Amino acid sequence: MRKLLLLSVIVLSAGLVFAGGQGESADGSSDQVNLRFSWWGGDTRHKATLAAIEAYEAKNPNVKIEAEYGGFDSYYQKLVTQLAGGTAADVVQIDYKWVHDLAAQGEVFVDMNTLTDKIDMSGFDMKFTRAYGAHGDYLLGLPTGLNAFGLTLNSPLLKDAGIPVKESWTWQDILDYGGKVRALGEDKYLMGLQPQHFWYVIKIQLKQKTGNNFIKDDLSFGFEKQDLVEVLEYIDGAFESGAFAPLEETVLYDGKGWDQIPNWLNGSYGMISSWASVYTTVKNATTFDMTVARFPIPEDAVNPGLQTTPSQLLAVNSRSANKEEAIKFIDWFFNSEEAINILKDCRGVPPTSRARDILAAADELDTDVVTAVNLALPYSGGPENGPSLNKEIETIVKDYVQQVGYKVLTPEEAATQMMEDLEKVLSQL
């Protein structure tokens, strides 16, 4: 029966190709369409996405897709500028953290709730999709994958230091084992954290202490000042002991992927903080054995607090002159077996049950990526609210963490001044 079905698909596909003819799309359209597709990522994602675009163009000769891709560091500011100027791409990859800020600009992307008859969403977990991709009833995009923030371990270095290569870690483990790695050499540190990732250390540790989002829905703090002081004291102590790599070293590469950071690639760090969605890219650039672990959880956590999210969201520019073709491309991108087999897990564990089934049957899913997500999902802290994802709030927190790291402020001083600055922002929301 399966062979018969496969044969039918082949015959149908062949029929469509012959019916379409040169210069026509699979649905018979011959009007030339030019689309732009913007995303960020590493080389593995770029190559897979470019290959998918090429396959789509081959099926639809009247469609030309211009790829706009690069790193994450300047993507958001560029996108905001393009949206304001009406020059954003037709198909746009966005971060779930931007949903509330982007929605505040109006309906800049097509509401996906209006596309259920044009994009097959039956394989998505729509409860998860709406929890992260919607602002109220407005659904900005569909998730490109399931993601989790966790640890990537340098197995040989940990073994050399006599540290167990395990899946579960506590914050105390980081402090306890830091000295073992330092003993291996002056350039060796247990944990590499990009400056942008200290924002996760702050809000995850606070949620583990309080059970609250960083900012509550009523725009009050989700923590007491003493909670924040204790988290900053932990960070200060981890720098002091050498458990965390010094900021002077990591700040040089803030916003870059770990696949581009020399001190990870040369084996100087025992572990790094990272999203599961970038694991494959990092592994492809790394020469030593890697494995994954859960982000630290203290034994007395009120809430495990781990970040489990969509990898990104894919949206359609509401000002696109070619919305129908952009929507058709997204349906193909998520649901066609051809696209699934090309893209594999370049954006993390695929978001649809159909894609996961196809890739699992072909043994094409990186088991470490799946493990990273599975380790975190039972310990998810749940979706963050809009105020806790505010970019200005994130920037303030990151600035004060750096002042602690550079010994400009004590944790007590940083907590006091940070909360004063945050209150000013909150008063304007």
- Tell me what pLDDT residue 118 has: 97
User: What type of residue sits at position 329?
Assistant: F
- Tell me what pLDDT residue 184 has: 97
What is the rounded CA–CA span in Å between residue 293 and residue 298?
Answer: 14
Using DSSP bridges, classify how beta strands 269-275 and 189-192 pair: parallel, antiparallel or unpaired: parallel
Question: Cα 238 from chain centroid?
Answer: 25
- Tell me what pLDDT residue 195 has: 86
What is the rounded CA–CA span in Å between residue 417 and residue 250?
Answer: 24
Long-range contacts of the stretch 25-33 (C-beta < 8 A, 24+): 25/59, 25/60, 25/61, 25/62, 25/63, 26/59, 26/60, 27/328, 29/62, 30/62, 31/62, 32/62, 32/64, 33/62, 33/63, 33/64, 33/322, 33/325
DSSP state of 244: B
- Tell me what pLDDT residue 6 has: 35
- Tell me what pLDDT residue 283 has: 93
Work out the number of other CB atoms within 10 angstroms of the CB of residue 30. Answer: 12
Number of H helices, E strands in the chain: 18, 12
Q: Are 43 and 284 in contact (CB under 8 A)?
A: yes
What is the rounded CA–CA span in Å between residue 369 and residue 146?
Answer: 10
Task: For residue 204, give every residue at least 6 positions away whose Cβ sits within 8 Å of its Cβ, in sequence order, or none.
Answer: 149, 295, 305, 306, 307, 381
Going through 60-133 in order, the beta strands assigned E by DSSP cover 63-70, 91-94
User: What type of residue sits at position 60?
Assistant: N
Using DSSP bridges, classify how beta strands 33-40 and 63-70 pair: parallel, antiparallel or unpaired: parallel
What is the rounded CA–CA span in Å between residue 328 and residue 28?
Answer: 14
- Tell me what pLDDT residue 321 has: 96
For 316, the enclosing helix (H) or strand (E) is strand 313-316
- Tell me what pLDDT residue 19 has: 35
Query: pLDDT tens digits, residue range 261-306?
Result: 999 999 999 999 998 888 988 999 999 999 999 999 999 999 999 9
- Tell me what pLDDT residue 23 has: 45
- Tell me what pLDDT residue 27 has: 53
Work out the number of other CB atoms within 10 angstroms of the CB of residue 408. Answer: 11
Query: pLDDT tens digits, residue range 115-168?
Result: 999 999 999 988 889 989 999 999 999 999 988 999 999 999 999 999 999 999
Intervals of the chain under pLDDT 70:
1-30
- Tell me what pLDDT residue 382 has: 84
Phi/psi of residue 44, each to 5°? -60, -45
